[in-house]
Structure 1
Amino acid sequence: MIQEIEKLRKQKDVMQRRIEFCRDKEAIEIVKRLNHLSFYYKEFTVDDIRSCTKLLSKNFRIKCSGDFTNVYKARINQTTVADKLYEVLEEEFCSKVNILGSVQHPHLVAMLGFCTDLKCIVFEYIHGGCLRNVLFTNHWKKSLKLLDLFEY
């Protein structure tokens, strides 16, 4: 009886390894299929952008330093987003959309869609303010503190 139990345990181990192999093989096939797909982004209409920003209201404009005064905080499909309007030629805007659409990285803000008529790109919204403010304000404060340490 003990020999039969051992035999069944070995069979169970073999079957578990086969199941794991099949799962790994299936996962590899899924990844291969996903790599061949290109990512498509939603093309929003002018009405979509204007309705989510209340007709591009100043109340929804994100205040940042520098030239970035054309960014609006909005809600699309119960998701908070940042709509950035560009004042560029249509060809330049299309190339921006193509470039930003092809770049994906966990440390970059993701593009969710665009509106060609308004020349607007919809990005995920990151809480905590403008990246420029975070980088330069904190950077200069830290630099000044370091300089204070090295004064004679």
Structure 2
Amino acid sequence: MGICWGDPRFPTPSHTGSLKSGIQLTISSSSSSGDGHHHNNLVPDDIGPFPNGSILADPCLKNFTLQELTAATENFRSDLLIGEGGFGQVYRGFISEGVALGGKKTVVAIKTLSGESMQGYREWMAEVQFLGTLSHPNIVKLLGFCSNDGQLLLVYEYMSRGSLNNHLYEKQSKDHPLSWASRLKIALGAARGMEFLHSSERAIIYRDFKSSNILLDRGYNAKLSDFGLALFVRSEGVSPVKTTVVGTYGYSDPEYISTGHLRIKSDVYSFGVVLLELLTGLRVIDKNRSEGKVNLVEWAKPRLLIERKVKAMADSRLMGKYPPNAVVQLAQIASRCLARESMKRPSMKEVVEALEEINTFGKEVKCTSINS
């Protein structure tokens, strides 16, 4: 039981636009936790199954009413605001569908987007098309949507520990800094999510990988979020896609910026930047730092293959509580990811294998998955 895009019950804004993904959008009017047969279909047919994940044939999402989401957030109460992006705000909400009165409610995250903005509509549409069809342990779950008189909303699973960015730079980062084990776990989880996106013939280029888009659950499991800039590509990413340059300053691939040619390995560069954040605990761009250190990549990259300098760069909040060789190995991976030319960067599959070696064998095993 679904509503195809364009159905009069599900109006499209007057400034209609779409991502040319080739996916026919079908929305379920019942909760995604209900009829599960949608979750076993893959698209396109030649992709085949993925380890711990799948691409669904169609989005199978709950069509929420504005009244339901207003009630869930108590009229979007200000103290329930948990985040704010370029095109909308995110609130914590409580959904009680299917639960007896007084029973346990489900905590969700509800994003509001401006239907008056073409970019806001495109982001909303992209989230439905991508997150509505992706199922993987390291990608945040989209549970439903709402479209009501120009008001666009999205409902996600609630990630109780917020973003990696908050844990690195906000107040809690000083009081409770991330341990080395947590940082490695987060890096590995995010890498597995990215590998999944890149792993099919109909691959997905994320285009906005950064620490604020990595969300953490109670167990510090990382999940990729915010697919508003994502693109499907038919090839394995060897041939570039000519497109308008978008992304976040400091994380974007310099080759992409200079040529406008987007490749799958543009994401790999961004992953290398986040590895630097995890290693050093420093913001990507910080004008309060001394001259020559404002741009983290420009400052750190020449030091990544020099062991004593890598150890000196390690986040002081770790207080030396990490395997020294593992820090050096992580720096080596970051260095390869940050190669100026995309063809010299490793694939995300290679990155995952290298991180798994560090995670499994710690300081006793030299990282060999990515040769320097």
Q: Common fold, TM-score beyond 0.5?
A: yes
For residues 86 and 140 of structure 2, the distance between their equivalents in structure 1, rounded to whole angstroms, comes to 19
2:88 and 2:113 in contact (8 A); partners too: no
- The question of 1:60 aligning with 2:80 is answered yes
For residues 144 and 109 of structure 2, the distance between their equivalents in structure 1, rounded to whole angstroms, comes to 11
Match of 2:41 among 32, 35, 43: 35
2:59 and 2:129 in contact (8 A); partners too: no
Structure 2, unmatched stretches of 5+, are 1-36, 43-56, 97-104, 179-277, 283-312, 321-372
Residue 49 of structure 2 is matched in structure 1 by none
- Aligned-residue offset at 1:92: 4.3
Residue 71 of structure 1 is matched in structure 2 by 90
- The question of 1:145 aligning with 2:316 is answered yes
Residue 96 of structure 1 is matched in structure 2 by 127
For residues 87 and 126 of structure 2, the distance between their equivalents in structure 1, rounded to whole angstroms, comes to 20
- Aligned-residue offset at 1:132: 2.7
1:61 and 1:69 in contact (8 A); partners too: no
* Larger Rg belongs to: 1
**Higher helix proportion:** 1
Q: Aligned AA for 1:110?
A: K
Bigger shift: 82-91 or 115-124? Answer: 82-91
Q: Aligned AA for 1:120?
A: L
Q: TM-score, normalised by structure 1?
A: 0.62
SS in 2 for 1:81: strand
Q: TM-score, normalised by structure 2?
A: 0.28
Match of 2:110 among 83, 93, 96: 83
Higher relative contact order (CA 8 A, sep 6+): 1
Structure 1, unmatched stretches of 5+, are 1-30
Q: After superposition, what is the alpha-carbon deviation per residue over 1:91-136, rounded to whole angstroms, capped at 9, x for unaligned? A: 5422331122112210111010011223111000011123431355
Residue 158 of structure 2 is matched in structure 1 by 125
Q: After superposition, what is the alpha-carbon deviation per residue over 1:60-99, rounded to whole angstroms, capped at 9, x for unaligned? A: 11157x7597110011121100001123433542233112
Residue 11 of structure 1 is matched in structure 2 by none
Q: How many residues align?
A: 119
Q: Aligned AA for 2:94?
A: R
Identity %: 28
Decide whether aligned partners of structure 1 residues 120 and 132 sit closer, same or farther in structure 2, where only a CA change above 3 A counts. farther
Decide whether aligned partners of structure 1 residues 63 and 93 sit closer, same or farther in structure 2, where only a CA change above 3 A counts. closer
1:62 and 1:69 in contact (8 A); partners too: no
For residues 144 and 75 of structure 2, the distance between their equivalents in structure 1, rounded to whole angstroms, comes to 18
For residues 125 and 153 of structure 2, the distance between their equivalents in structure 1, rounded to whole angstroms, comes to 10
SS in 1 for 2:107: strand
Q: After superposition, what is the alpha-carbon deviation per residue over 1:35-56, rounded to whole angstroms, capped at 9, x for unaligned? A: 2663410011110111110111
Residue 19 of structure 1 is matched in structure 2 by none
For residues 55 and 113 of structure 1, the distance between their equivalents in structure 2, rounded to whole angstroms, comes to 18
For residues 73 and 122 of structure 1, the distance between their equivalents in structure 2, rounded to whole angstroms, comes to 10
Decide whether aligned partners of structure 1 residues 102 and 56 sit closer, same or farther in structure 2, where only a CA change above 3 A counts. same
Decide whether aligned partners of structure 1 residues 57 and 110 sit closer, same or farther in structure 2, where only a CA change above 3 A counts. same
